[in-house]
Amino acid sequence: MRIETLQVGENFVYVLAVAGRAAVVDPGVADPVSAYLEEAGLTLELILLTHYHGDHTGGVVALRRASHDVVGPAGGSIELDRTVVHGDSIDFAGHPIRALAVPGHTTHDTAYYLPEAKALFTGDLLFACGCGRMFERDSHQMWGSLCRLRNLPDDTCVYGGHDYTLENLAFAAHLEPDNVAIRERLKQFRADPAGTMPSTIGEEKRTNPFLRCDSEAVAAAAGRRGGTPVEVFAAIRGMKDRW
């Protein structure tokens, strides 16, 4: 399986390709996706949605055809061919894709995990070195969802929904100035700003403060030494919102 990243402004759209067949994740726009599919000689079979914000779904109406499926969680106004819940498996060209419920950014956020390809599509729940804002759920649920993703194998490739990497890295370095892995990641980013995605679960565990709320360093930076991970998460999410 080949995974292509299409960047449109700060949005990422991902195209999965197997032997001329394609699936697309969160097509916020249609034209760049159509152009890529045509150029690559791919036939679209499946559209996967992580949640229902317009910048992830804006291209669905133009892209959808009777011959393929639009799959996503409940909670949106887009007509789905299949509604997924946590633990569901979707087949794409013989490859299983597991739906993982990760509420936090919205009520129905869903991540898609491909164990064979070691790939994880996280929508607006998890970004490179950051996480989404909590629009519909609370810190308790968001932290639980981040832990669900953190428990996947370290070599799982993480494909997030947006490129907020520079500001995320700056915030992470502000919280943990002594974290060598964050300094190294910042250096790599400056050398290759286009190489943001994918990262890996292992890299996020070392550098993403929102996956490190049970570390002493992040708790201290949040002014919550001895606090629970949820309290630490709430504190740094609030700090980031005002950053």
Positions in the binding site for Fe ion (CB under 5 A): 53, 124
Q: Which is nearer to Fe ion, 24 or 173 (CB)?
A: 24
Q: How far is the CB of 241 from Fe ion (least distance, A)?
A: 15
Q: What angle do CA 125, 128, 131 make, to 5 degrees?
A: 30
31 assigned to active site:
no
Q: How far is the CB of 51 from Fe ion (least distance, A)?
A: 6
105 assigned to active site:
yes
The torsion defined by the Cα of 174, 211, 155 and 145, in degrees rounded to 10, comes to -150
Active-site pick, 26, 68, 108, 124: 124
Q: Which is nearer to Fe ion, 45 or 124 (CB)?
A: 124
Active-site pick, 55, 69, 88, 214: 55
Q: What is the DSSP letter of 80?
A: P
**Residue 90 near residue 46, CB atoms below 8 Å:** yes
68 assigned to active site:
no
Give the residue from 221, 212, 216 showing the smallest Cα distance to 243. Answer: 221
Q: Which is nearer to Fe ion, 53 or 68 (CB)?
A: 53
Q: Which is nearer to Fe ion, 63 or 125 (CB)?
A: 125
What residue type is 216 in one-letter code?
A: E
86 assigned to active site:
no
Q: How far is the CB of 166 from Fe ion (least distance, A)?
A: 19
Q: Which residues contact 105 (CB under 8 A, 6 or more apart)?
A: 51, 123, 124, 125, 131, 132, 133, 134, 135, 136, 137, 142
Active-site pick, 26, 56, 108, 109: 56
Q: How far is the CB of 121 from Fe ion (least distance, A)?
A: 13
Helix (H) or strand (E) holding 46: strand 43-48
**Catalytically active residues, by annotation:** 51, 53, 55-56, 105, 124, 162
